[in-house]
Each structure stands twice: as C-alpha cells, then as structure tokens.
Amino acid sequence: MIYFTRAEGLMHKQNGTTLIETTIAITIFLASLTALLAVLLDSKSAPARTNSMFLAHNICANHIENLRSKAFGDLPFAAETSTRVNGDGAADGSGAFYRTTVVNANYLGNASLAEVVISVSYADSALQSASPVVIRTVIYGT
C-alpha cells in the first residue's frame, strides 16, 4: 500500500497485511477445515452403513428364498408391513431392521404369476439411509 505524507512530501510503501486480509484468510481456512471435518465424520460412519446395507440386502434375498419354498397359494398370506426383524430376518420386536413384504397375486393378469416386493430399512436412525433396500421378483406357481 502506498501513502503520501504531507510533512515530508514523499511517498512510502507500507509492508504487512491488513486486518481485512487476515480476516478473509482465517474465514477461508475455517471453511475448508469445516468441509474436511464433515468428510472425516462421514467416512467414519460409512463402514457401519455399508454393513447395515449388506445385512438388509441379505434379509431381502433370504426372505424371497423362504417365500419360494412356500406353496404358491400361500404367498398372499406372507404380506407384512413394517415388521421389525433381526439381522437373520427373523421377527424380533427389538430387531435392527424393518421389513415390508408386498405380494401382488395374479401378476399381469396371469394367475400363475405373483410379484413379490420386499423392502428392508434400518431401525437405527443414525444409520438410516435415504431409501430402503428393495428387491422385486416374480414367482411362478401352478
């Protein structure tokens, strides 16, 4: 910064930083630090969310296999809404997951087809994902 003094009639150059420059630098540093901490905290909980998603997928797949082993006429009775289940997919009032099963008999107008939609979400709000794990399949029966 250059300034002019009346007494000397000379121009001098001022060295150093101003308060505004220092404030802007601190603000940029704090903003980048906040973003870095958010990434670190998210990455810390990622393994738990991934494990829960893996378990939810396995609960869906195992439930579909259980439904395929049932008599075709009994499939509509397997429908359930927000049943709390444990990691093995067994009904458990204190389980970590909610399972919903929807059975659409007479799928596409064919009495030999039934669509089964199973969705599993996490009961723990800290691990709650934006959407549940959903598996759809069509079961053929006679």
- Alpha-carbon distance of 69 to 80, in angstroms, equals 17
Q: How many domains does the chain have?
A: 1
Higher pLDDT, 8 or 116: 116
Quick check: 138 pLDDT over 60? yes
Which residues make Cβ contacts (< 8 Å) with residue 125, sequence separation at least 6? none
Quote the pLDDT of residue 76.
92
113 with 138: CB under 8 angstroms? Answer: yes
Q: What is the pTM of this model?
A: 0.67
Task: Find how far residue 97's CA is from the centre of its chain.
Answer: 14
Higher pLDDT, 101 or 129: 101
Task: Find how far residue 71's CA is from the centre of its chain.
Answer: 35
Tens of pLDDT, residue by residue over 118-137, are 999 887 665 555 688 999 99
Structural domain span for residue 92: 2-140
Quick check: 5 pLDDT over 60? no
Tens of pLDDT, residue by residue over 53-84, are 899 999 999 999 999 999 999 999 999 998 99
pLDDT band, residue 31 (cuts 50/70/90):
very high
